[in-house]
Chains A and B, each alone.
Chain A
Amino acid sequence: MMAGFEPQIIAFCCNWCTYAAADLAGTSRMHYPPNVRIVRVMCSGMVDPIYVLKAFEGGVDGILVAGCHLTDCHYIDGPVKCDETVNKLREVLHVLGLEDKRLRREMVAASEGVLFAQVINEMVEDLKKLGPSPFKAKTEALA
């Protein structure tokens, strides 16, 4: 798409699994592109739709919502609740005209540093193909 376009990604990661997986990717010195900024939440089920919508409104190109696998949850069933939030969000994003691939939902366990790096790599690639978020242009025009 755009030459030199570097997508901006925000990742909401649960404290117990995916945040720890990102730490593990670090301690294992696995390299992945610097396009992602992680926001720590206690549980993926804590991610409020408003956080995702505000981030898109602010112009980010992609969002990752990631936490424990269904069976690893520190709070019993957080991932189920997170899935519900994400499914509802997908409908809203559809109406807003945002491509499905801009919101990614993953379960990454504390031991899966490799998977975390892989997910970020894939997202950056996917988002490069999609180009900047249509909201980015709007936000910039308003500014």
Chain B
Amino acid sequence: MTDVKNILLVGVGGQGTILASKILSNGLLEHGYDVKMAEIHGMSQRGGSVVSQVRYGEEVFSPVIDKGNADIIVAFEMMEALRWLGHLKPNGKVIVNNYKLPSARINSGIDQYPENVLDRIKEKANITIIDAADIAADLGNRRTMNVVLLGSLIQAMDLDNIDWNTVVKENIKEKFVDINIEALQAGMNCIK
């Protein structure tokens, strides 16, 4: 039972990590995997750092991913990738959105945004940088940034054999389905 895979989706409250992990875990469920997904709601949500943990395989016990045990981290925001890097397996992958969201304290000049975030991750891990904001904007809706990143994740984890279009249809409001399917495909195309 060493086949359990661990995915960490990290970002900032409001970026759509929850929807992305919902689509992801429902797809994995349809495919017949055992799936567990952990999130923390509540106070930490207001502009705070958010994390969804998705684990799947033949049989999953704990819903939480230990430090040093994530196969892949998908960071919707750059500093969050750095924050969670300790959770990655030493040979794991990082997909990072090329996107900065300063905290309220950084905006008001109390704190500073860390420097050279992407280079610092590059030194330590196998990183793929995705311009998800630009890709989503080109598609005509910046809000689909989360699904672009989901597409990249799916490709990087070799999960493209699942019928994601159907899963998207089941989890997204009808009028946004088409654009999200495009976003998913665009994200998948970013991974060779």
Partners in one complex: no
